[in-house]
Structure 1
Amino acid sequence: MSMATLDLLLHPVRLRVLRTFLDGLPATTAQLRERLPDIPPATMYRHVAALAAAGVLEVLDEKRIRGTVERTYRVCWHRAEIDPADRATMTTDDHRRTFTAFIGGLLADFDEYLAHEPADPTADGVTYQQAALWLTDTEMAELQAEIRAAVTTRMDRDPNQDRTRRMISFVTMPVE
């Protein structure tokens, strides 16, 4: 992964745009603006255009509306992820920047959740916890595959009045 791509993905506005697509649903720029009303329209259009030009956002549909073209986008996740080969070429500072952006997104999500009254973490099933496990590299890879499979099999569920959009975040690292 080039530094330009890392910089493209780690920009705060572009990260927020990408995070709105975590539910897998396509969106127009107008719909993104509804979900991120604090981002000025010109800024939103500029960053969406940058993500589309890089192939991170894919145009699913185009409609003419009052002389302009409204595009519906979805994320090409394989272009928005840092694959293992690219991670191997990242510097320590690159990893620190990437992890900081990840944690910043978690904090923003949690702040947004708490800001909507009445927030009830217990009733809403909010959890944050850590566990220390003694695992070989093979056992760790198996655990990660199991978790990925458990999450992936649930990702294609359609939103409805009985379902709540929930964020699942996962971090693993060795600890001395």
Structure 2
Amino acid sequence: MEMSPTQVLLHPVRLRIAQAFLGERALTTSDLRTELPDVPPATLYRQVAALVDGGVLEVAEEHRVRGAVERTYRLRTGAAHVDGDAARAMTDDDHRRGFLTFVVGLLADMDRYLEHDDRDVVRDLVGYRQHALYLTDDETAELVTELRTVLAPRLAQGPGDGRRRRLFSTVLLPTDPPAGAAADD
């Protein structure tokens, strides 16, 4: 059975691999082994193949290295994104798995950061917060548009000029039913 890119990403290791490519990065499996040292090589190769088969990764280039072919991969444009139609098609269990995979990825990223001896959460501007906002649906849509506007030029920046790769993750969800809907007892 062929899986959609959304289904392919509903796996913790595959999501971590896809996240490694964020920021227009092109990586080999050797690069990925360096970035994800806790993932056994056989698992890494198998999951990269699943991401290629699922249309999430594509081969950017190939080189001969000591008689073997070394492939450099990159994210297919938009492949690691779940659009509105794909999100609507997901079951409740798909959403639970997807969110759990996302949270597990965040925990793994934090663990990798905390393993560095020279870390300094203040210097490195590490933060995690949760705020409760009271917004109408229109105000929420306006906020999302404003955030996209602020983030778009920064997402387009590449490495260099003293830049460090940083992960910026968001979760936006209502905590109560829409106005006029009956609340579950």
TM-score (norm 2): 0.86
The residue aligned with 2:182 is: none
Distance 1:16 1:27, change over 3 A: same
Structure 1 residue 101 corresponds to structure 2 residue 121 = no
| Distance in structure 2 (CA, Å) of the matches to 1:52 and 1:100 | 23
Structure 1 residue 48 corresponds to structure 2 residue 48 = yes
| Matched AA of 1:109 | D
SS of residue in 2 equivalent to 1:154: helix
Gaps of 5+ in 2: 177-185
Distance 1:42 1:3, change over 3 A: closer
1:78-93 matched pairs, under 5 angstroms: 78-93=78-93
Gaps of 5+ in 1: none
**What is the deviation of 1:52?**
1.0
**What is the deviation of 1:166?**
1.2
User: Contact 2:2–2:54 (CA<8 Å) still a contact in 1?
Assistant: no
1:159-174 matched pairs, under 5 angstroms: 159-160=159-160, 162-174=162-174
The residue aligned with 2:3 is: 4
Q: Percent identity?
A: 49
Distance 1:161 1:37, change over 3 A: farther
User: Contact 2:10–2:94 (CA<8 Å) still a contact in 1?
Assistant: no
The residue aligned with 1:147 is: 147
User: Contact 2:12–2:104 (CA<8 Å) still a contact in 1?
Assistant: no
Q: Deviations over 1:61-114 (max 9, x none)?
A: 111222221111110142222211111122222211111111111111111111
Structure 1 residue 38 corresponds to structure 2 residue 43 = no
| Distance in structure 2 (CA, Å) of the matches to 1:23 and 1:59 | 16
Matched length? 175
User: Contact 2:61–2:72 (CA<8 Å) still a contact in 1?
Assistant: yes
Superposition CA RMSD, Å: 1.9
| Distance in structure 1 (CA, Å) of the matches to 2:156 and 2:58 | 18
Q: Which has the higher contact order (CA 8 A, sep 6+)?
A: 2
The residue aligned with 1:113 is: 113
Moved over 4 A (4+): none
| Distance in structure 1 (CA, Å) of the matches to 2:141 and 2:19 | 26
| Distance in structure 2 (CA, Å) of the matches to 1:90 and 1:54 | 16
Tell me which protein shows more helix as a share of its residues. Answer: 1
